[in-house]
């Protein structure tokens, strides 16, 4: 049976591009076309991703509009600030999915404050679990995949916002992410000898670039003037994210109400699993899958809702959400080509 659509991946030698290719190789409706990159153009794909053996002998081309044109779907797995100008030169009838941050924010001032570069405009946001978002993605020709931390924190808090249990003010979020979330650049703080056996905080004090995207999602979920204190940590693992998110609740809110809100919000969601009472998400349970594990309860002494959420930063946090959104845009079943089961141990 012939493939229905062709797909190109720009930035194919990075972690996000490699994850997109891993998933696309198992997609029954996609034929993989051009593989492009910047400084690694001319190399074999297998030099960067030996796990992708069906594509290992393919030569990586230079990322140009000409090499990407002629495909039904184009994934841009490029550094922040690199997608905007390139996207303007791509065919308007192609489905272009930006796995970077360039087209996520709807507020130019927020972009300029956190990214310090020209604003490229907003595209439909590729987190289908947000209320009303599937309709915006269906038939779209431009999609902005979410940030990995943003997807985790948003999915942790969304049911509480939708059901009015919290108002989005005084939210705190802390957690750990795998080193792949920092990209593939050879920097000292990501060396194995630096990360093994310990954790370290980064982006402390309200400077992390995912903060404006989190606030934007909270606003879309009904929050008025939301605020968040976000402290991410680098965990000694290659992939995965686990976030603990808390927010104040009214004294009348019970743990039972919180649980019902989460069960109601995620009932029927193919990738989000609310765990049984007293069972808390563990990052290993979702590795390699597009699944999300979440649970929430009440801390009565602090008067705060506590939600814990985990996902794989490269799959559901980036490439998986991109392909999930692609399926919706192309009119395919949303779960096509996406793994539901994690890898263990």
Instruction: Extract the tokens encoding 219.
Output: 């606003």
Q: Of 12, 99, 148, 309, which is the active-site residue?
A: 148
209: CB partners within 8 A, 6+ apart = 80, 101, 114, 115, 147, 203
DSSP state of 145: P
Yes or no: say if 129 and 158 are a contact pair by the CB < 8 Å rule.
yes
d(CA 17, CA 70): 19
Instruction: Extract the tokens encoding 225.
Output: 């003037």
Yes or no: say if 264 and 163 are a contact pair by the CB < 8 Å rule.
yes
d(CA 239, CA 155): 18
Asked about 148 being catalytic, the answer comes back as: yes
DSSP state of 275: P
Catalytic residues: 148
């Amino acid at each position: 049976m012939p493939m229905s659509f062709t797909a190109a991946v720009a930035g194919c030698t990075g972690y996000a591009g490699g994850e997109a290719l891993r998933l696309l190789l198992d997609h029954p409706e996609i034929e993989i076309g051009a593989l492009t990159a910047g400084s690694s153009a001319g190399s074999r794909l297998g030099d960067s991703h030996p796990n992708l053996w069906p594509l290992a002998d393919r030569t990586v081309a230079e990322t140009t509009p000409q090499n990407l044109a002629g495909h039904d779907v184009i994934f841009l797995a490029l550094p922040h600030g690199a997608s905007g100008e390139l996207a303007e030169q791509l065919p308007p009838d192609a489905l272009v999915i930006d796995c970077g941050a360039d087209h996520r924010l709807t507020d130019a001032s927020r972009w300029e404050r956190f990214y310090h570069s020209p604003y490229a405009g907003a595209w439909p946001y590729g987190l289908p679990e947000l209320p009303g978002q599937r309709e915006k993605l269906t038939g779209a020709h431009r999609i902005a995949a979410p940030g990995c931390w943003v997807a985790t924190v948003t999915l942790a808090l969304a049911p509480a916002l939708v059901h009015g249990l919290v108002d989005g003010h005084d939210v705190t979020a802390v957690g750990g992410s795998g080193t792949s979330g920092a990209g593939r650049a050879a920097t000292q703080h990501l060396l194995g000898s630096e990360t093994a056996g310990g954790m370290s905080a980064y982006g402390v004090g309200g400077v992390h670039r995912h903060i404006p995207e989190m606030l934007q999602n909270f606003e879309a979920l009904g929050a008025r003037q939301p605020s968040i204190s976000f402290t991410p940590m680098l965990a000694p693992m290659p992939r995965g994210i686990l976030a603990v998110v808390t927010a104040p609740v009214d004294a009348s809110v019970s743990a039972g109400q919180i649980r019902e809100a989460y069960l109601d919000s995620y009932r029927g969601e193919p990738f989000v699993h609310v765990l049984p009472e007293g069972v808390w998400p563990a990052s290993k349970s979702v590795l390699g899958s597009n699944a999300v594990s979440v649970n929430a309860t009440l801390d009565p002494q602090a008067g705060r809702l506590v939600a814990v959420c985990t996902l794989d930063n490269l799959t559901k946090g980036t490439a998986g959400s991109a392909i999930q959104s692609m399926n919706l845009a192309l009119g395919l079943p949303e779960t096509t080509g996406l793994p539901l089961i994690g890898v263990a141990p």
